[in-house]
Amino acid sequence: MSTATQTTRHAVVEFPIGPLTLVRDDLGLTGIYFPGHWTRPDEASFGPRAELAEDGGFEAAVAQLREYFAGGRREFDLDLNLHGSDRAQQVWRLLSQIPYGQTTTYGALAKEIGGGISPRAIGGFVGHNPISIIVPCHRVLGSTGSLTGYAGGLERKRKLLELERALPASEPTLW
């Protein structure tokens, strides 16, 4: 069981897709989690809750996420401190290269990584991406283009892809 370092802290911020828990340490964001997030770590690892007014280091992330949801931001420029194996880091770097408004598949990512890794294994790394939205795992689809697994739920995945116009809007967006 991991515990928070002395510099780890978190903030809970309301966004159009619901509250997001942002976690960071002194090196950068370490996590962004939805309520009910499949791979959400133990909250003890999040450290104390920071009030945004106290400059907990979340201001840039909050501002850039708000710009994204308003349709004004396509790329993020934030310090990230992702924790994971070398292979996980490799997959997350590939996710970060998927352009706004475009999608790929688990199979295409597996081919790009090479070395015989399966699409299912890629799915495991994608599902454990700790920085949802900013490292855009929502842009990965099943082999037939279907929406499959998303740690924040398929409805959120659909809404993010609709926001980016990677999918046609199914109903008016709430934001």
Residues designated catalytic: 137
Q: Residue 159 has which token pair?
A: 């809404």
**How is 33-97 classified by DSSP, letter by letter?**
E-TT-TTPPPGGGG-SBPPGGG--S-HHHHHHHHHHHTT--SS----B-----HHHHHHHHHHHT
Residue 51 makes CB contacts below 8 A (sequence gap 6+) with 11
